[in-house]
Structure 1
Amino acid sequence: MEAQDIYEAHRAYLRRFAEAEIKPFSAIVDEEARFPTESIAAIRKLDLPGLAFPAAFGGGDGDLMAQVLAVEEIARVCACTAHLMLTSWVAIMPLVVAGSAELKEHIVPQVAAGRAQASFCLTEPGGGSDVAGIRTVGEPTAGGWRLNGAKRFISNAGVADWYAVLARNATCGFGIFMVHRDDPGISFGRAERKMGMRGSPLADVLFDDCFVPEGRVVGDPTAGYATMMDILTYSRPLIAAHGLGIAQGALDETIAYTSQRMQFGQPLSRFQMIRGMVADMMAEVEAARSLLYRCVAIAGKNDERARAFASMAKLLCTNAAMSITTNAVQLHGGYGYIVDYPVERMMRDAKVTQIWEGTNQIQQLLIAKHAFSPFESQDS
């Protein structure tokens, strides 16, 4: 079977699964602003928590395209469930890439099996885009390290068992530290009340002389910054897929609604202006999807353009999510503003995709840096 056929079969299976096992709970999770217990149990049954990890550690050996398709199809019906799944993947990836064999053996199988969840601790109260300005500090001490500082707007905070924390090394550079929720000195702020993504926990993670054993540092304790930058090149296509899935879900709902809603004796879908808006929405989704899949292909070849394409995919897909969900609400008319229709939730969920994992303005700067780098390197 050709690779394309395998991916399409993977997508079709995931779509059936998401419609049957996840979609029925998405509205109530949003309404009650609670953890999507039923959906997380469902993805565990399908072994999706381990899709991103090597088989040697109990994972599914899924490549980036398989991961993107999983995120896309689940986000199509429930953005919160998709985000919880990908957050654990992203948090553990620095460990998979740069960690010791012992630390991998200790942590990765737990997360791959769905027995534990993980969180990625990067953003701080002083800012999210200025990674180099991080103030959380890890100081060497007998037998390990002591962390002091605060991380803000952390997904899975309080729910996750493991936290991949980027902290300034008091000696030199940055380190990545794997902190367990039961370690002395870690605590959590109040759960944030959010516009959307209400089923995805978000809170501060606080470190007050939090002791981390020596063996829980990921690789070189001075090289964490470079590792995290590489991980962002991996994670941004997943966030792009998250936005794309929301956009596709809103488009699907819009086509169904306008085909059934009657006005002036005929379905809305018979009106030329409606057809034109839906055509533009479809073209926007497919353009975003094409760029995302090209980004994935480039990433798989370790191409030097990978970082710029990850930024382009994140920018285009998440802007599409906001644009298409806004138009979906508009095309539902007054019903689009009512919580009984999923496009209202999708519009609220879409907004944050333009903000997290580097705001879209930061993505524009990174893309422009890539575009002008040949000329600016000559100037220097």
Structure 2
Amino acid sequence: MKIINAGVTAPKGFKCAGLRAGVKPGKTNKDMAMIVSEVPAKIAGTFTKNIVKAAPVLWGKKIVEEQEAVRAVVINTGIANACTGAQGYENVVTEAKEVAKLLDIKPEEVVVGSTGVIGQQLPMDVIKEGIKRLVPELKADRQSEEDASWAILTTDTKPKEAAVEVEIDGKTVTIAGMCKGSGMIHPNMGTMLGFITTDAAIDKALLLELQRELIEDTFNMVSVDGDTSTNDTVFVFANGMAENKEITEKDADYEAFREGLLYVNQSLAKQIAGDGEGCTRLFEVHVAGADSKENAKILSKSVVTSSLTKAAIYGKDANWGRILCALGYAGVDFDPVKVDISLKSADGVIEIVKDGIATDYSEDEATKVLSADAVTADIDVHNGVFEATAWGCDLTHDYVTINADYRS
């Protein structure tokens, strides 16, 4: 596998564009994007588990269930088109029809992504004009990738992209993606949109099964603030233009593709965690020694979502009691006197708990370790052989500031 500096048009046959349409007056950011495949691309999709689902999610689920392949996705930021009733759904259908008309394809070959404020109707005159402007701008170059990756953001401070190349059947297959997500992020798909493109030839059912499996260990292991959104969506588009022999079973070619897709999912998930609203550092929690994979996940999520632990990470305070406490209320049985906890970062490693009690560690050294941009808590509960990793961030004053006036 080769990691490359590229975006969603790195795989053969994809073009994209991003621009400012003016979805929310008074702003200056790019707010609409589009990705198009030259040929039909098999589609896999994973969506929010929130009972309250946005209109584009309902449309996307329908398309994934009923269609083998699609050609395009159009995305807007600023307004989520959630809790907007029949009119909101009709607006999604109108978007699909507008894109289809301009690209000379069927509306059922178009999916939609929206993110932003809940409860507002889309300004369809603005959206339609944005679609008309996007189509002639579609290109396969780095600038277009950057424009598109910026155009899907809300409170994010930076775009999020990942891309790799893998060899399958003697062909170079590329997998690339972009996503947005900064707040209302919690396991079960946080308020995030993800778009992954690949030129691999792969059976749709196998692609859907694989992506949903990988989501559980990547995007569903991310938490910023404990809120699960109405709009979460990750699409994977596979157009087969690498011309590899179609992957139809779980053989060596499948494993090579799986490795690349896992990397892209995981990289994007970590970038979301590291750009949590108001955060100053990425917080990674790795739990080992659990008696099952599910319990390892539960324990790691419990620590990464603990508000007190997140605040301690912000304060560069090695408050190990908060970590042990979060493990204890997770609902998983383990022996507290066997727990070991270490903190590590680019600035060093320090063991702070051994056999359930504090070591004679240096608070100054711990503060140094916790001052890096990315910090990991390594936890071993010595109760089995299973492990899991969750990603989050620290909790800062700025998180409240951002969300206190989000609608304005």
**Scaled by the length of structure 1, what TM-score is found?**
0.28
TM-score for both structures, normalised by structure 2: 0.27
Structure richer in helix, relative to its length:
1
Greater strand content: 2
